[in-house]
Chains A and B, each alone.
Chain A
Amino acid sequence: MIRRLLPFLPLVLGLALAALWQSGLWPNPVLYVRADAGTLLFLAGLAASSLWWLGRFVGTRATRRCEQALARERTEQVEARRRFLRRLDHELKNPITAIRAGLANVADSSDGPALSGVRVQVDRLAHLSADLRKLADLEAQSLEQEPVNLERLLTELVEMMRERPGAAERRIALALPRAPWPPPPVAGDRDLLFLALHNLADNALKFSLAGDAVEVRAFEDERGAWVTVEVADTGPGIPDEDLPHLGEELYRGSAARGVEGSGLGLALAQAIITRHGGSMSVRSRVGQGTVVAVRLPVSR
């Protein structure tokens, strides 16, 4: 409130003094100012420039404050969403436990296709609950900080991708620099990093079609401080309107309908990478393919 009123202080002060002088309590002399045109123009220029700079200063401050407020709001939104997901998970666990026990109770008396259908759906819910728990775990748990050999990790990842159904119809390649040195190790929890990269690779396989290429590659930046791991595919690509929502929990893009998954894979990957001090970005062109890039700090 006071900050809002402060700019009016000089005006109020001026008005008060003017009123005082005009009232005749003090002598009110008339001042004549003489100036040549050159000086006058210089002063006018100075005043205009000052006003312009002042305006700019006030403008940037307002924008910055606005941005800060937006960022705060965004963090709050993410927090609220996480809280909601934790509660959702919590509310899912007990019914799933009860349904499973109920299924076990009726399993002997009547077992048929209907029952196994129910079981599949309950397992799906249990899977969702497990993924939600991973997300919550990630925020709370302390991370291991071991040097992780990316070469070994990615080789294992690609081996695993090749064992997946549908892998034979895709060209899966691993591109690692060997000369003069392989990518440096990153610091972190190997199991979690594997999970994150596995989810990205899994998406590349799920959303690409027979005949597409999937490539996993890693390289370090020129200063040797960061390693980038990319998972690229020549799949159908992601429409522009889906891109901003990709990391959101439970978001399923238009192409994801009918594809198996909980809608948490990418959110989990994102959370893991963030916890490791890294970042994740997606580039995609419809009809050409998608590159997901993960930047991780090199282990010191």
Chain B
Amino acid sequence: MEACERGNRILLVDDEAAITDQLSAFLARSGFCVAVASDGEAALSQVERFRPHLIVLDVLMPRLDGREALRRLRQADDWTPVILLTQVGSPGERAMALDEGADDYLNKPFEPYELAARIRAVLRRARAGAPSLAGAHRLRSGQLELDRRSRRVSLDGRELPVTARALALLEYMMLHPDEVLCRDRLLDAVWGWDYPAATRAVDSRIAELRRALNDAAEAPRFVETVIGEGYRFIGGVEAEP
């Protein structure tokens, strides 16, 4: 918790000392300046003193859990980027994480390198002055509009028939515009599980989205294929309250 001159300040919140010990050392070696809190209450008071650039927040904690801490933070109009560490196995939890204003989430157990990469991506977006999309109820990209509350997508004012999973995929991509999202990450975020050849499942949902959005793979307006890597949402995304 020593004051550090350089590097982005990261507040790491988890009640497991084994995790905070190892992860804070890892993040420090990755060039971040790390402070640790062991529950939601401690995290909220740390936010005031430490002024972090980003908070890594575990969901299940004693006293004040991560979800409630996040809610209080957002209610106080504090939009410090938050990455939630989810662990209860339910897709509802993942959807809720985004709905409650988390900028990203990662399922435990994760690779620490992946966490560092996510932190950098979220910080990059925040630094570019991009408005936080996390708390938006509606996401708009040109004529494409996604209503996160009513789970509907429309293009040119016409509602599109897409499956729930394709919609969740589009939502995740729109929340991470201009970022290359590899198939494994999309699987983890949207499906919550993976299996051999599941990457094909991602491809077929992307194909479904493209059909619905009338988006050609070779000249895309929205979803671009990054060969050998994954997909990228190339339209600019605006948040609407």
Contacts and interface: CB of A to CB of B under 8 A. Distances in A.
Given A191-B198, A195-B195, A97 B90 contact: no
Contacts of A37: none
B195 A198 contact: yes
Contacts of A100: 109-112
Given A97-B19, A198-B195, A104 B112 contact: yes
B164 interface: yes
B200 A146 contact: no
The 7 closest A-B pairs by CB, nearest first: A101-B22, A133-B89, A96-B109, A98-B18, A136-B89, A93-B108, A97-B109
Interface string B77-101: 0000000000111111000000000
B130 interface: no
Interface residues of A, number: 36
A140 B92 contact: yes
13 contacts: A96-B108, A97-B19, A98-B23, A102-B22, A105-B25, A105-B29, A126-B109, A129-B109, A133-B107, A134-B193, A140-B91, A160-B196, A160-B197
Interface of B: 16, 18-19, 21-23, 25-26, 29, 87-92, 107-113, 163-165, 191-198, 200-201, 204
Given A98-B16, A105-B25, A134-B193, 12 more contacts: A90-B88, A96-B108, A97-B23, A101-B22, A101-B26, A104-B113, A133-B192, A136-B90, A140-B89, A141-B90, A160-B197, A190-B204
Interface in A136-156: 136-137, 140-142, 144, 146, 156
Contacts of B92: 140-141
A94 B18 contact: yes
A252 B171 CA distance: 40
B171 to A, nearest CB: 16
A51 interface: no
B198 to A, nearest CB: 7
A188 B175 CA distance: 28
**Of listed B26, B29, B89, residue having the most chain A CB within 10 A:** B89
Interface of A: 86, 89-90, 92-98, 100-102, 104-105, 126, 129-130, 132-134, 136-137, 140-142, 144, 146, 156, 160, 190-191, 194-195, 198, 202
Given A130-B193, A130-B194, A140-B92, A104 B87 contact: no
A97 B194 contact: no
A89 B88 CA distance: 9
Contacts of A133: 89, 107, 192-193
Contacts of B163: 144, 146
B26 A97 contact: no
Nearest to B191: A191
B165 to A, nearest CB: 6
A136 B112 CA distance: 25
Contacts of B197: 160, 198
A12 to B, nearest CB: 58
A96 B19 CA distance: 9
Contacts of B204: 190
